[in-house]
């Protein structure tokens, strides 16, 4: 470290012949897209429509968390970097912003809803 050489001794306290299995890993890779859960009161779409949707017209959750604020509503015009939704994950807030100008077609989440990574939260026209 920092150009210096260190020598360390390690003492093995237990001799486990069989390898231990970790209860936490390895973690599976996160898929690029997932199917979102239907929101009460929202129109449901067939999975094929979700997969073939233009990604530039969707805003997805970057984290697993809970919706604490929804800043837009259907029909509202937005500009690039406008705040759409605020999520809370592990006591930290994450702002979901618009990638470009447009008009909100639908909001697929409400305050208090749990969201998963890559779940669609807002759809644009």
Query: What span, in angstroms and rounded, lies between the C-alpha atoms of 83 and 70?
Result: 9
- pLDDT (tens digit per residue) in 43-71: 444 444 444 568 889 999 999 999 999 99
- On the question of pLDDT at 25 being above 60, the answer is no
pLDDT (0 to 100) of residue 6: 81
- On the question of pLDDT at 88 being above 90, the answer is yes
Query: What span, in angstroms and rounded, lies between the C-alpha atoms of 30 and 110?
Result: 24
Give me the domains of the chain, ranges plus CATH numbers.
59-124 (2.40.50.100)
- On the question of pLDDT at 116 being above 80, the answer is yes
DSSP 3: T
Tokens representing 119?
Answer: 């779940």
Q: Classify residue 77 by burial, with Cβ atoms within 10 Å: 0-12, 13-18, 19+.
A: exposed
pTM of the complete model: 0.58
- The answer to whether 86 touches 101, Cβ cutoff 8 Å, is no
């Amino acid at each position: 470290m920092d150009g210096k050489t260190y020598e360390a001794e390690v003492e093995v306290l237990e001799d486990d012949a069989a390898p231990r299995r970790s209860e936490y890993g390895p973690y599976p890779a996160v898929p690029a897209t997932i199917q979102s859960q239907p929101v009460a009161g929202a129109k449901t779409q067939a999975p094929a429509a979700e997969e073939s949707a233009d990604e530039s017209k969707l805003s997805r959750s970057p984290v697993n968390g809970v919706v604490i604020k929804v800043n837009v509503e259907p029909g509202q015009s937005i500009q690039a970097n406008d705040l759409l939704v605020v999520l809370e994950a592990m006591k930290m807030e994450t702002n979901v912003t618009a990638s470009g100008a447009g008009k909100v077609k639908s909001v697929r989440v409400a305050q208090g809803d749990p969201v998963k990574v890559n779940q669609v939260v807002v759809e644009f026209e």
